[in-house]
Amino acid sequence: MRCYSCGATLSEDDFCNACGADVKSYKRIIRLSNSCYNEGLKRAKIRDLSGAVSSLKESLKCNKTNIEARNLLGLVYFEMGEVVLALSEWIISKNYRAKNNIADDFMQEVQENPAKLEMLNTSIKKYNQALDYCAQGSYDLAIIQLKSVVSKNPKLVRGYQLLGLLYLQGEQWEKAKKALNRALRVDAGNPETRYYLSEAEQALNELAAVPAENRMKTREEAITYQSGNETIIQPLNTQERSGSITVLNIIIGLAIGAAIMWFLILPARIQSARKEINEELQNVSDELTSKSADLEEMDKRLEALQNENNASKEELESYTGSSGMMNSFDGLFDSAALYINDPGNAREAAKLLEGVSENASSRKSYQNLYSVMFSKVGSEAASAALDSGKQCYNTGDYTGAIVDLTEAFGLNSSLDEALYYLAQSYLKSGDETKGRELLNQLTNTFPDSEYAGRAKDYLSTGNTDETPAETGQEENDNGETQERKKKTEEQTEAAAAVELPAVPAPAATPTPAPVTQAPAAIDELQAGAAQEGVF
């Protein structure tokens, strides 16, 4: 305790040791204030909140700077639902003692929950509105409003009190008693609450002590008795339910439940399931359509690729097939190479030329080489075959003669000599029909030939020609070979009917001219083929 004058700490004396001021009355007031604070604290501990408020207010009237008393007063207000009064006391307390004040904690706790503060403030506003309704005589509206108030602010003692008072006014004793009992749970020592509660209980007691005839009537309808703070009204005009009725009721309940399931829940579930199935079916259908479209597109692509593959195969066949360009090139080149290396083996070169197509390539170099090879090799091969055939004829090998002479006439169809000796070979080999046929062909094809006259003699007289054929070796000896060969070549060229590029006339023997010309043509052809991308 400090001196009110100088602030020095006071002793047990009735005056200040520092300034000499009389502090006797001052000390008594301070003690009175503390005593009231202690009283308020005791009442607060036993939930006599209104008594605590009274004591604490007395304490503060003695000493307004009694911080503990003011903070406790704020706390009691807060417990009674009076949050605004609580905040006011704490703020004033904070004003008197800025530091080491527990009011800081209280206010901080309230401010940390603004939603709750807002709800409490709303409940206070509704309480005030209920008061207005009461002033206007709208008690029912006030009751509704107060019910909302106590539901949001269940510690608002004044709300319960006013609600209880309104119920008393409406003679709703039980409700009034219930509301007032709730008020007592918050503030056990509130005299107004106890006063109203006593009124309610008295009314209930009076109601319980009604006249006998009324009570009998009541007994016929119901039995009313007290169970603690509650009044239980039990109706009497109900029959005791037997076991069979209970079972029947259960069965009826089950039937009603099943009907509800069947008519309300089940259709909804079925409809929901159908909807889900339809959605899933739609999704599957869409996916199937998409897959079908993809499949169709893949089929089209496959067909296009197959067509492209067939076209490529055909193109490749045109190059590499038996009648293709590559085979023609190979045959022509092989024939040319064989003829260049061995000009005397013209028959083999001619055989290689058999599979060569003249139109395998449209290039001029190919055409030139083919013409050169066909004319040179063909004529020489025909001559060689003719000579071989005649030699076979002279030696009596008519079968070999037929083969060679057929080849010679095949290579050069203007060789009347080959046709004549071929016919004679058939005749002497016993095939007179074939021989006569060939002789007739000779007389028809070469009517001016000397062999045509000899053929006519046979056909008219039937005498076989026993004159040996003139072979190339014998002609070479008598100097007629060159002339015959030249004639044969000219005939071959005429038969080929190809416009040849400046082919020199053949010499007495296989001249180097075509041989030297062929490699040049081959080189040109190879260059051209390389440009075409053949190789």
Partner 1 sequence: MIDFEEELKKFHPSPEVEEVEDIIHAHDASDLIDVLLSMMETEQGEHY
Q: Which residues lie below 8 Å from residue 68, measured CB to CB, with a gap of 6+? A: 37
Phi-psi region of 108 (alpha: psi -120 to 50; beta: other; left: phi over 0): alpha
Residue among 18, 29, 337, 503 that touches partner 1 (CB under 8 A): 29
Residue 111 interacts with partner 1 (CB under 8 A): yes or no: no
Please tell me the distance from the alpha carbon of residue 238 to that of residue 297, in angstroms, as a whole number: 82
Residue 136 interacts with partner 1 (CB under 8 A): yes or no: no
Residue 195 interacts with partner 1 (CB under 8 A): yes or no: yes
- Min dist CB 134 to partner 1, Å, is 6
Residue 88 interacts with partner 1 (CB under 8 A): yes or no: yes
Rounded alpha-carbon distances, angstroms, from residue 434 to 429, 465, 469: 10, 16, 20
Which DSSP helix (H) or strand (E) runs through 199?
A: helix 191-208
Residue 199 interacts with partner 1 (CB under 8 A): yes or no: yes
Residue 197 interacts with partner 1 (CB under 8 A): yes or no: no
Q: Which stretch binds partner 1 (CB under 8 A): 195-203, 266-274, 386-394, 502-510?
A: 195-203
Residue among 3, 49, 62, 521 that touches partner 1 (CB under 8 A): 62
Show the CA angle centred on residue 492, arms to residues 347 and 428, nearest 5°: 65
Residue among 83, 401, 419, 495 that touches partner 1 (CB under 8 A): 83
Beta strands in 441-504 (DSSP E): none
Q: By C-beta, is 29 or 503 nearer to partner 1?
A: 29
Residue 61 interacts with partner 1 (CB under 8 A): yes or no: yes
Residue 108 interacts with partner 1 (CB under 8 A): yes or no: no
Q: Which stretch binds partner 1 (CB under 8 A): 30-38, 226-234, 350-358, 445-453?
A: 30-38
Q: Which stretch binds partner 1 (CB under 8 A): 83-91, 215-223, 323-331, 500-508?
A: 83-91
Please tell me the distance from the alpha carbon of residue 498 to that of residue 364, in angstroms, as a whole number: 13
Residue 162 interacts with partner 1 (CB under 8 A): yes or no: yes
Residue among 9, 11, 111, 128 that touches partner 1 (CB under 8 A): 128
Show the CA angle centred on residue 383, arms to residues 381 and 386, nearest 5°: 105
Binders of partner 1 among residues 367 to 396 (CB under 8 A) are: none
Q: Which stretch binds partner 1 (CB under 8 A): 191-199, 214-222, 232-240, 244-252?
A: 191-199
Q: Which stretch binds partner 1 (CB under 8 A): 84-92, 260-268, 306-314, 321-329?
A: 84-92
Q: Which residues lie below 8 Å from residue 128, measured CB to CB, with a gap of 6+? A: none
| Burial bucket for residue 158 (CB in 10 Å: 0-12, 13-18, 19+) | buried
Neighbours of 318 (CB within 10 A): 13
| Buried b or exposed e, range 247-278, using 16+ CB within 10 angstroms | eeeeeeeeeeeeeeeeeeeeeeeeeeeeeeee
Q: By C-beta, is 135 or 268 nearer to partner 1?
A: 135
- Min dist CB 279 to partner 1, Å, is 55
Q: Which stretch binds partner 1 (CB under 8 A): 164-172, 242-250, 346-354, 393-401?
A: 164-172
Please tell me the distance from the alpha carbon of residue 41 to that of residue 52, in angstroms, as a whole number: 7
**Residue 380's closest CA among 459, 237, 488?**
488
Q: Which stretch binds partner 1 (CB under 8 A): 190-198, 237-245, 406-414, 472-480?
A: 190-198
Residue 163 interacts with partner 1 (CB under 8 A): yes or no: no
Residue 168 interacts with partner 1 (CB under 8 A): yes or no: yes
Q: Tell me the sheet residues that pair with 232.
A: 225
Phi-psi region of 462 (alpha: psi -120 to 50; beta: other; left: phi over 0): left
- Min dist CB 234 to partner 1, Å, is 30
- Min dist CB 162 to partner 1, Å, is 6
Neighbours of 53 (CB within 10 A): 22
Residue among 10, 60, 69, 401 that touches partner 1 (CB under 8 A): 60
Q: By C-beta, is 55 or 443 nearer to partner 1?
A: 55
Residue 262 interacts with partner 1 (CB under 8 A): yes or no: no
Q: Kindly report the length of the chain.
A: 535
Residue type, 507: A
Q: Which residues bind partner 1 (CB under 8 A)?
A: 4, 22, 25-26, 29-30, 32-33, 60-65, 82-85, 87-88, 91-92, 117, 121, 124-125, 127-128, 131, 134-135, 158, 161-162, 165, 168-169, 192, 195-196, 199
